[in-house]
Every structure is written in structure tokens, then in C-alpha cells.
Amino acid sequence: MAFRSRFQHLIFICLLWTILTISFHNSGVSRLIQIKESKSCPLTSPLLIGWTNISNWMEDCDKQKLVELGGSYKPVNCNPNQSIAIVVPYRNRDHQLNIFLCYIHPFLQRQQLDYTIFVVEQTGRSAFNRGMLLNVGFVEALRRRSFDCFIFHDVDLLPEDDRNSYACPEVGKPRHLSVAINTFGYRPIGVNHFGGVSSVSTTDFVAVNGFSNKFWGWGGEDDDLFDRLCSRNFSVQRHQPLRQTRYMMLAHEPAKPNSDRKRILRDNKKNLPVTMMTDGLISLKYRIISNNLKRFCTHIIVELQR
């Protein structure tokens, strides 16, 4: 999908907001009906097992019979009150993706969540643009159905403790999930860190116009999103205790850093209200190469356009 003018972008984002408002109202009504017909899932799932040593984790993916085509799941014995889209930006990491999908589905199912996993793959030779891929995932997921929140999830991070809840955060309280990563000694990177794995309500993500599309190469887009969220006076949350936010990073070749990321961050921050409303969902340009429902995910291949 490619847009031809800023006016068309504005029309699109207004239509998206209208669709979100209507769909959330309708989904809310339908959920009230469903709740009357079946009991709601408990706030704390009885299926949780706590921390797991996954350093030598092995699992037979063929045992996973409950995942619907396209990477969707919903508990059959209770009714979740939220719907969650998990968006994974991706390119050239087949081995990691297979491990991630095989591991994350049982993890999410133990939390009794209603979710769908979207893998957004960048094609072409341009530098990897994580923020833009996540924007694409947001837009394309909402073409499929309404979601209450989005989890933006790097493919190389596996949560070690299923008490690290992937349920939706409150509106105005986005949540950073991957606080303690093994490669950093399980120590928090910083209070303004929002990369790796994060969760944002759909309403909040629209309010900040999504990620910036300017960050080609590793780094910067997550810091920029943190600035956007803070500019709206949203309060970034993190689970406690810290040991429940542990993640293992899968081994991979280091990504090439974006040498301009600090300059772009400074420039964006100088006039953030204007930048935020002109760079993001409203300025997104891409072309869908393919959009396929696979066994464990919805796989979207895109060509990003500058």
C-alpha cells in the first residue's frame, strides 16, 4: 500500500480512528453478550508455572494443536476481556523465528489470552527499519479485526517467566516488558528504555502517531517512541518484581547501528508535537508483497518506501 499525498495520509488516519471507535464499541457490546454466556478468564491464570530455565529449551511444535491458522488463539474454557496483537519485525532470521513461534504460543496460552501473532518481514536491500515495520503491522492487523492493544516484540527475545503478563496495559499506561535481559546481566538498561518488547494500547498508539519512520538501521525508534509517549503525559509502567521480567536473547550477528540515530532523535525532540503528527502512521508508505495465514503466524512481506 502506497499513498500519494499527505492529504491522503490524513484521510487514512482519520478513517482508521473512526473504524477503531466503531469497532471497539461493537466489540465491547459483543463481549458483554459473551461474558453473560461464559465466565470471564481470571486475572491470574491457574495455568502459570512461573520461571523456567530455557537455556537448553526444546519443544516439539507439532504438539501445538490449539493455534488457529494465522497464529490466533483464544481460550475455550473462559472468555478473555481483551484482544491482543503481537507484531514481530523480521528479516533473515529463520532459525530464531522458528524458535520464537514454537516457544511463545504455549507461553501466551498459559496466560489465557486472546491473541494473534503478526510477523512483518522487510524485503529489498534497504537498511532494516524496525519502527516502520511495526507501523505496518499495526495498520495491517487492524484490517483483520479490532485489537485492544499491541505488543511489539523482537524475534530474538524469549520471556523466561509466564508471570510476566502480556495482558493489555491500561490506556495512558504503556508497559515496557523486556526489562531484564540475560546479555545485560539481567539489569535494567535505563528508565527511558522502551525497546525489545513493549505493550501499548491501541488508543495510545494512535494518539502518538505510532513509531517514527525515519530510523533506517539499528536503534533510535524505541527511544523516539518513549519521547512521544511522555509528551502525551503517558506513564510508562514496568512489572514488579524484576525477576519476573527476565528474557533470554537468542544468539545472532550484531545489527549494523544507524549512525544518524542520535541526530534524528535530537531533531525530532526539538519540535516533537509537530514531528509527531507528521512522521509516523500518517506518513507510512509501503507495498504488500504477500500476506499469508501460516500455521503459527500471519506472515506479511512488505517493501518499505522512503
User: What pLDDT digit, counting tens, does each position of 247-287 carry?
Assistant: 999 987 877 788 899 999 999 999 899 999 999 999 999 99
3-state secondary structure the chain: CCCCCHHHHHHHHHHHHHHHHHHHHHHHHHHHHHHHHCCECCCCCCCCCCECCCCCCCCCHHHCCCCECCCEECCCCCECCCEEEEEEEECCCHHHHHHHHHHHHHHHHHCCCEEEEEEEEECCCCCCCHHHHHHHHHHHHHHHCCCCEEEEECCCEEECECCCCCCCCCCCCCEECCCEEHHHCCCCCCCCCCCCEEEEEHHHHHHCCCCCCCCCCECCHHHHHHHHHHHCCCCCEECCCHHHHEEEECCCCCCCECCCHHHHHHHHHHCHHHHHHHCCHHHCCEEEEEEEECCCCEEEEEEECC
How confident is residue 18, by pLDDT bands cut at 50, 70 and 90? low
Cα-to-chain-centroid distance, residue 30: 25
How confident is residue 137, by pLDDT bands cut at 50, 70 and 90? very high
- Least confident piece of the model among 69-73, 184-188, 200-204: 184-188
Residue 35 confidence (pLDDT): 42
How confident is residue 13, by pLDDT bands cut at 50, 70 and 90? low
The values of phi and psi at residue 66, to 5°, are: -90, -10
b/e code 145-167 from CB counts within 10 Å (16+ = b): ebbbbbbbbbbbbbbbbbbbbbb
CA distance 298 to 69: 8
Q: What mean pLDDT do residues 60-65 have?
A: 78
Give the chain's mean pLDDT.
89
How confident is residue 64, by pLDDT bands cut at 50, 70 and 90? confident
Fill in the amino acid letter for 133.
Answer: L
CA distance 283 to 157: 29
Side-chain-side CA neighbours of residue 17 (13 Å): 16
In sequence order, which residues have a C-beta less than 8 Å from that of residue 29 and are 6 or more positions away? none
Residue 15 confidence (pLDDT): 60
In sequence order, which residues have a C-beta less than 8 Å from that of residue 106 and are 6 or more positions away? 59, 64
Asked if the model's pLDDT at residue 3 lies above 50, the reply is no
CA distance 66 to 88: 21
Residue 12 confidence (pLDDT): 58
Asked if the model's pLDDT at residue 34 lies above 60, the reply is no
Residue 55 confidence (pLDDT): 81
CA distance 91 to 130: 10
Asked if the model's pLDDT at residue 58 lies above 80, the reply is no
User: What pLDDT digit, counting tens, does each position of 158-201 carry?
Assistant: 999 999 999 999 999 999 999 999 999 999 988 889 999 999 99
